Structure 1
Amino acid sequence: MASRVVRNKKTMSKTLTFSCVILCLFWVLSTAELQRFQHGAKEDGSLSLLVVGDWGRRGSYNQSQVALKMGIIGEKLDIDFVISTGDNFYDNGLTGVDDSAFDDSFTKIYTAPSLQKQWYNVLGNHDYRGDVEAQMSPVLKKLDSRWLCLRSFILDTEIAEFFFVDTTPFVDSYFTNPKDHVYDWRGILPRKAYLSNLLKDVDSALKKSTAKWKFVVAHHTIKSAGFHGITREIVDQLLPILEANNVDLYVNGHDHLLQHISSLHSPIQFLTSGGASKAWRGDVNWWDPKEMKFFYDGQGFMSMQITPTQLDIAFYDVFGQVLHKWGTSKKLYSAF
């Protein structure tokens, strides 16, 4: 009888130890900081890049034409890298790392010499309809060294920090009313804990940042006159964190258009670059003209040119023509 009690105690001890290990591992994973990547500025301290979104259609819907003009503008601006605002592969993401859509929609489309730079990609809602982990697999980087895609991460460029945020899990309707779509929620569930940790990580990273410029890149709209309009969950949960931490730009895709909103109630500039292939011509909702600096319901992309004291953006159409420019400046503060 005594030996049985001893064995039971040993079993309980092992079970408790194992449980503690699992709990500790969960705590470490759930409180881990966002992964950080470095991409240095040019020798003169400047940085230049293109922003494109909602593109992966094997070249159709003028994706190839937009890519051609991106290459020309990219060479002219001597870009350092490219940012994608998500929905990288239509209609339902990738089926796996061996899906030909990666080659047909990315490698074979963005062939210009100026576009052979690093691409930093976030996930969109259409990407979550396929094998979402395939897009984050190192296998794709072996297939095309330009590719880097994670859920959320930080890009430090010395003069600016880009905070890439995974916004698809915020949207309630993808969980409650998926409309016959199947979403790949591996790595997301339990959803409440995932979102809570993500918001804490973003808030912490923004607070720690000493960058002159802070830019947030995500897929979903916060403010938009396009089809999707306002994403209420992100407005309620993420926007207050961005405003409290002096973010300069919120850059997104999702609505298939080009857009610049300068809010009357927020210092953040809201920029949409989601016109890299299929555009939604005429699908426009009213927006306060005092806030709407630019709206174009066609195809195109955006550029950013950054120095420690100056930020300039431009939007281009499918013909490479400049449709809209905007700039702002910051003073350099001396320590003496």
Structure 2
Amino acid sequence: MAGARDASAAPLALCLALALSSLSLLPTFAEIDRFLHPPAKDDGSLTFLVVGDWGRQGLYNQSEVAAQMGVVGERMGVDFVVSTGDNFYENGLTGVHDPAFDESFSRIYVAPSLQKQWFSVLGNHDYRGDVEAQLSPVLRAMESRWLCLRSFIVNAGMLDIFMVDTNPFVDEYFTNAGNNTYDWTGVLPRQKYISDLLEDLDLALKSSRANWKMVVGHHPIKSAGVHGNTKEIVDQMLPILEANGVDFYVNGHDHCLQHISTADSPIQFLTSGGGSKAWRGVVNWPNPDELKLYYDGQGFMSVKIDATQADFVFYDVSGSVLHSWSRTKPLYSIV
């Protein structure tokens, strides 16, 4: 399957059939396939932070959020950080030497606990710049903790994280872009890109033997915020996630913190888009009982997960706990 595709347009495809092989056997394709990040703690648990919509040269409380991330990260001994996209405002990066990278990333997230691997997806604002710059191995060589790709998989012991590029799904960016210009290099033809991505995501989820499955994308599936639900993803991707036992869908895009749990889906929907500029006064959800958290200020989320329990905590800009939630499940057994 993968061999028949354009490598630049197949986010997960390039040797997915060999995905269970050791990464050391696939050095050429490692950056676009899957990354091994086994838990380093003696008890096998994994801890990480999630932040999104952050890149504003420290403004709009970005620096304050970063400082609290450092405090929580030190306390938890985090293994890595996940970014849900919109990494650089307003229009992404102009190239690998754009000073905005240092001004919004390297010089902001300076706490010792945050000097770990960052796994990042692209947001719509990132697509307004030079997308290839954020994806470039040159940038990764300059800042070793930075890793941003369109779609990839992080195998982290009991947890598999599927990082998915959701931008090409959104019709508005192609039909009503307004004054914005998007860099669709490596994405066109669009329908083939989406078809390949969904096919590969389905196969990768089916191949996963992790006890927990988390999907991370920029755009929300369920959101009470300004942007609301992303219909294209609800229609095209959500059925695949539900059919393959995904536990959590994590996103940014709406500049707030949310936890939505609905009776019509087994997936928990978690928004961490409070990395800098936040929106206030907009909340729209039909069933208040399903909205476990809605906070339209700055903040971030932490995750601690072991073989049978996952703990989520949302923090505001001062590091105060806004909401915590846990889920347990029996250990997955391979038949």
* Fold equivalence (TM over 0.5): yes
Equivalent residues in 2 for 1:296-307, closer than 5 Å? 296-307=295-306
Which residue identity does 2:167 align to in structure 1? T
- Superposition deviation, residue 25 in structure 1: 6.1
- Superposition deviation, residue 94 in structure 1: 0.2
What secondary structure, in the 3-state scheme, does the structure 1 residue paired with 2:88 have? Answer: coil
Q: Percent identity?
A: 65
- Superposition deviation, residue 331 in structure 1: 1.7
Task: Give the Cα–Cα distance (whole angstroms) in 2 for the partners of residues 171 and 325 of structure 1.
Answer: 31
Task: Give the Cα–Cα distance (whole angstroms) in 1 for the partners of residues 5 and 185 of structure 2.
Answer: 18
Residues matched between the structures, number: 314
**Structure 1 segments of 4+ aligned residues over 6 angstroms from their partners:** none
Corresponding residue of 2:144: 145
Task: Give the Cα–Cα distance (whole angstroms) in 1 for the partners of residues 60 and 6 of structure 2.
Answer: 44
- Superposition deviation, residue 43 in structure 1: 2.4
- Superposition deviation, residue 287 in structure 1: 3.4
Task: Give the Cα–Cα distance (whole angstroms) in 2 for the partners of residues 185 and 275 of structure 1.
Answer: 26
Contact 2:210 2:332 in 1 (8 A): no
Equivalent residues in 2 for 1:13-32, closer than 5 Å? 26-27=4-5, 29=7, 30=10, 31-32=13-14
Task: Give the Cα–Cα distance (whole angstroms) in 2 for the partners of residues 61 and 332 of structure 1.
Answer: 42
Task: Give the Cα–Cα distance (whole angstroms) in 1 for the partners of residues 286 and 74 of structure 2.
Answer: 35
Which residue identity does 1:40 align to in structure 2? P
- Residues 26/305 of structure 1: CA separation in 2 closer, same or farther (3 Å cut): same
Task: Give the Cα–Cα distance (whole angstroms) in 2 for the partners of residues 175 and 28 of structure 1.
Answer: 21
Corresponding residue of 1:250: 249
TM-superposition CA deviations, 1:186-228 (whole Å, max 9, x none): 0000001000000000000000111100000000011001000
Corresponding residue of 1:55: 54
TM-superposition CA deviations, 1:291-336 (whole Å, max 9, x none): 1111101000000000001100000000000000000111236789
Task: Give the Cα–Cα distance (whole angstroms) in 1 for the partners of residues 332 and 112 of structure 2.
Answer: 38
What secondary structure, in the 3-state scheme, does the structure 2 residue paired with 1:325 have? Answer: strand
Equivalent residues in 2 for 1:135-284, closer than 5 Å? 135-284=134-283
Task: Give the Cα–Cα distance (whole angstroms) in 2 for the partners of residues 27 and 255 of structure 1.
Answer: 33
Equivalent residues in 2 for 1:89-100, closer than 5 Å? 89-100=88-99
Task: Give the Cα–Cα distance (whole angstroms) in 1 for the partners of residues 246 and 334 of structure 2.
Answer: 23
Corresponding residue of 1:4: none
Corresponding residue of 1:315: 314
Corresponding residue of 1:11: none
Task: Give the Cα–Cα distance (whole angstroms) in 1 for the partners of residues 203 and 332 of structure 2.
Answer: 24
Which residue identity does 1:151 align to in structure 2? R
- Residues 125/264 of structure 1: CA separation in 2 closer, same or farther (3 Å cut): same
What secondary structure, in the 3-state scheme, does the structure 2 residue paired with 1:290 have? Answer: helix
TM-superposition CA deviations, 1:155-189 (whole Å, max 9, x none): 00111000000000000000000011000000000
Alignment TM-score, normalising by the size of structure 2: 0.91
Task: Give the Cα–Cα distance (whole angstroms) in 1 for the partners of residues 262 and 84 of structure 2.
Answer: 21
Task: Give the Cα–Cα distance (whole angstroms) in 2 for the partners of residues 118 and 333 of structure 1.
Answer: 27
- Superposition deviation, residue 139 in structure 1: 1.2
Which residue identity does 1:226 align to in structure 2? G
Corresponding residue of 1:40: 38
Range moving further from structure 2, 282-291 or 158-167: 282-291
TM-superposition CA deviations, 1:215-247 (whole Å, max 9, x none): 000000110010000100000000000000000
Task: Give the Cα–Cα distance (whole angstroms) in 2 for the partners of residues 95 and 26 of structure 1.
Answer: 32
Task: Give the Cα–Cα distance (whole angstroms) in 1 for the partners of residues 291 and 283 of structure 2.
Answer: 12
Which residue identity does 1:214 align to in structure 2? K
Task: Give the Cα–Cα distance (whole angstroms) in 1 for the partners of residues 183 and 332 of structure 2.
Answer: 47
In structure 1, runs of 5+ residues without a counterpart are 1-23
* Superposed CA RMSD: 1.6
Task: Give the Cα–Cα distance (whole angstroms) in 2 for the partners of residues 332 and 243 of structure 1.
Answer: 19
- Residues 253/333 of structure 1: CA separation in 2 closer, same or farther (3 Å cut): closer
Which residue identity does 2:82 align to in structure 1? I
- Superposition deviation, residue 283 in structure 1: 2.0
Which residue identity does 1:27 align to in structure 2? R
Corresponding residue of 2:76: 77
